[in-house]
């Protein structure tokens, strides 16, 4: 073969390889930039989730574990007034970046509309009206929203398509009461349908009561053998550990869940939130 032909062939092959290497390098750089962006977004999202409030007579604890770098679960605390605290837990349909965007929007909307409004239902009606105009037909948000009166220990709450709330009484041998007012998710139905199907419930809490909320990633998770964690397992744990602090109860539930799910991949976000009504003279953990 002519030396010039060989040289041209070699140069042509070298150019092809160089082009492929440059394409691979660009792809690696793009992936690195995406990874950096996701890490930055994750950091900002975690920053949006507040620390539990430090109150004299209420002991709070939360755990948030997204399934991916960006989650659709959220919790929040709203300053309704000097004597009323709004407690929020939500779960956006879907996962990843889209769910994270909606999560931020829903969380902020509830926080803004909840200030100065003493009715949980009225707040959610306003939030739903705002969200339903912006969300598509496939996106929705389930929400627990409760208003805790810090003076009377009264909890008023709504359940917009979210999981039931559990109240555990150590004084009654760890009895578990399920609170399940009717309600539909945010972002799917306009007025008057949403308000018609949303019920507000008021409950008088007692000293020693533990109030627990969670997202469905907890009870719907499956073990390596395919067994679901389930509501009954959760209720049993709540009953067994009723006399402990909020942190001990929530951490125990999370620990048992971790043992249960060994060998499986977490495919849904998990958020746990609980608070206990303390005696008037009892200090919180660590105080």
pLDDT tens digits for range 199-217? 999 999 999 999 999 999 9
What are the structure tokens assigned to 99, written together? Answer: 């769910």
For residues 251 and 211, state if they share a domain. Answer: yes
What are the structure tokens assigned to 184, written together? Answer: 């539909």
Distance, in Å, from the CA atom of 248 to the CA atom of 79, rounded to the nearest integer, reads 26
Establish if 287 belongs to a structural domain: no
Establish if 13 belongs to a structural domain: yes
pLDDT along the chain (287 residues), means of 10: 58 56 54 54 68 96 86 94 98 85 92 97 97 92 98 98 95 92 97 97 97 97 96 97 97 97 92 95 53
Angle formed at CA 278 by CA 252 and CA 64, multiple of 5 degrees: 35
For residues 15 and 59, state if they share a domain. Answer: no
In 3D space, the residue among 253, 262, 251, 255 whose CA is nearest the CA of residue 227 turns out to be 262
pLDDT at 38: 53
What are the structure tokens assigned to 271, written together? Answer: 């958020």
For residues 107 and 76, state if they share a domain. Answer: yes
Domains: count for the chain: 2
Establish if 82 belongs to a structural domain: yes
- 187 sits in the region (left: phi over 0; alpha: psi -120 to 50; else beta) called left
Quick: pLDDT tens for 236-254.
999 999 999 999 999 999 9
Cross-strand pairs, 178: 166
Burial class (CB in 10 A: 0-12, 13-18, 19+), 254: middle
Quick: pLDDT tens for 84-103.
999 999 999 987 778 888 99
Establish if 249 belongs to a structural domain: yes
For residues 269 and 135, state if they share a domain. Answer: yes
Distance, in Å, from the CA atom of 36 to the CA atom of 169, rounded to the nearest integer, reads 46
CA dihedral 95, 96, 97, 99 (to 10 degrees): 20
Establish if 283 belongs to a structural domain: no
Provide the 3-class DSSP secondary structure of residue 67. coil
For residues 156 and 266, state if they share a domain. Answer: yes
For residues 222 and 163, state if they share a domain. Answer: yes
How many C-beta neighbours within 10 Å does residue 138 have?
Answer: 10
For residues 19 and 95, state if they share a domain. Answer: no
For residues 121 and 251, state if they share a domain. Answer: yes
Which residues, in sequence order, are CB contacts of 98 under 8 Å at separation 6+? Answer: 139
For residues 110 and 251, state if they share a domain. Answer: yes
Establish if 158 belongs to a structural domain: yes
Establish if 221 belongs to a structural domain: yes
What are the structure tokens assigned to 286, written together? Answer: 């660590």
For residues 33 and 58, state if they share a domain. Answer: no
- Give me the domain span that covers residue 41: 1-48
Q: 258 vs 95, 102, 232, 237, 278, CA distance in Å?
A: 21, 28, 17, 14, 28
Establish if 285 belongs to a structural domain: no
For residues 92 and 24, state if they share a domain. Answer: no
For residues 24 and 141, state if they share a domain. Answer: no
Identify the CATH number of the domain in which residue 237 sits. 3.60.40.10
Q: Look up the pTM and report it.
A: 0.84
């Amino acid at each position: 073969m002519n030396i010039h032909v060989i040289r041209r062939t070699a140069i042509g092959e070298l150019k092809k390889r160089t082009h492929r290497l440059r394409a691979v390098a660009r792809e690696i750089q793009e992936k690195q930039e995406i990874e950096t962006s996701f890490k930055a977004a994750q950091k900002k999202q975690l920053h949006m989730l507040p620390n539990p409030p430090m109150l004299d007579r209420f002991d709070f604890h939360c755990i948030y574990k997204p399934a991916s770098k960006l989650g659709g679960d959220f919790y929040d605390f709203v300053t309704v007034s000097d004597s009323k605290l709004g407690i929020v837990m939500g779960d956006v349909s879907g996962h990843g970046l889209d769910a994270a965007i909606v999560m931020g929007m829903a969380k902020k909307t509830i926080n803004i509309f909840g200030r100065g409004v003493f009715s949980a239902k009225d707040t959610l009606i306003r939030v739903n009206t705002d969200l339903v105009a912006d969300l598509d037909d496939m996106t929705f948000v389930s929400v627990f929203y409760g208003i805790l009166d810090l003076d009377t220990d009264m909890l008023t709450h709504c359940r917009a398509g979210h999981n039931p709330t559990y109240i555990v009484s150590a004084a009654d041998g760890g009895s578990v009461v399920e609170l399940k007012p009717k309600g539909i998710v945010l972002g799917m139905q306009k007025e008057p349908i949403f308000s018609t199907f949303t019920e507000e419930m008021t409950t008088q809490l007692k000293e020693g009561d533990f109030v627990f909320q969670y997202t469905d990633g907890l009870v719907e998770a499956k073990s390596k053998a395919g067994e679901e964690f389930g509501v009954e397992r959760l209720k049993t744990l709540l009953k067994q550990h009723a006399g402990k602090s909020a942190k001990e109860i929530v951490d125990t539930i999370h620990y048992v869940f971790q043992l249960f799910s060994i060998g499986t991949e977490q495919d849904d976000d998990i958020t746990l939130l609980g608070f206990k009504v303390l005696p008037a003279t009892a200090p919180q953990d660590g105080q």
